[in-house]
Structure 1
Amino acid sequence: MTTDPLPDWVLPRRQQIGATLRAAREHRGLTQIQLGERAGMDSKTVHRIEYATSDPSLTMLLRLAAALDVRLSDLVG
């Protein structure tokens, strides 16, 4: 595992992905709890991804996209 600091662009990019996720969730009228249930993850995990305090795995992002019925590229594009 690397201990190098993350490039400066990583956190703003994670924040952008989180904001896109939050907007998609709210557009569908879902709470973080409901999205978490649909995606098979804890609502706290959804919260951490939306607010960029977590580094989600590709699998997590795929599950969230499926739960929202959007393409992965719509969340991270």
Structure 2
Amino acid sequence: MSARRNPRPDWVIDRRIALGHRIADLRHRAELSQEQLAHLASMERRSIQRYENAQRDPTYSDLLLIAHALRVHVTDLLSG
């Protein structure tokens, strides 16, 4: 994998971290494991783990699937 020429600004990384925290918080409130959320969202558990740990940026489609599985609106994930 090649390195980015222009690394992401700190504010982008901060928002990715905040998104991961919101996903984890909403998952905990729904009393779901990462495995259960992944199943409900038709995703891999590893993807949920990477999003919660801010290791990857989710696609818009993945955000929609996660929001649907958590029974929240996608803006609840993005805005907190």
Give the alignment's TM-score, normalised by structure 1: 0.93
Partner residue of 1:38 out of 34, 37, 40: 40
After superposing on structure 2, the runs of 4+ consecutive aligned residues of structure 1 that deviate more than 4 Å are none
**Residues 13-58 of structure 1 deviation map (CA, whole Å, 9 limit, x = unaligned):** 0000000000000001000000000000001100000010011111
Count of aligned pairs: 76
Identity over aligned pairs, percent: 37
Which residue of structure 2 lines up, in the alignment, with residue 21 of structure 1? Answer: 23
Which residue of structure 2 lines up, in the alignment, with residue 53 of structure 1? Answer: 55
Which residue of structure 1 lines up, in the alignment, with residue 66 of structure 2? Answer: 64
The yes-or-no answer on 1:4 pairing with 2:6 is yes
Letter in 2 for 1:62: L
Give the alignment's TM-score, normalised by structure 2: 0.90
CA RMSD of aligned residues (A): 1.1
Distance in 2 (CA, whole Å) between partners of 1:19 and 1:8 is 17
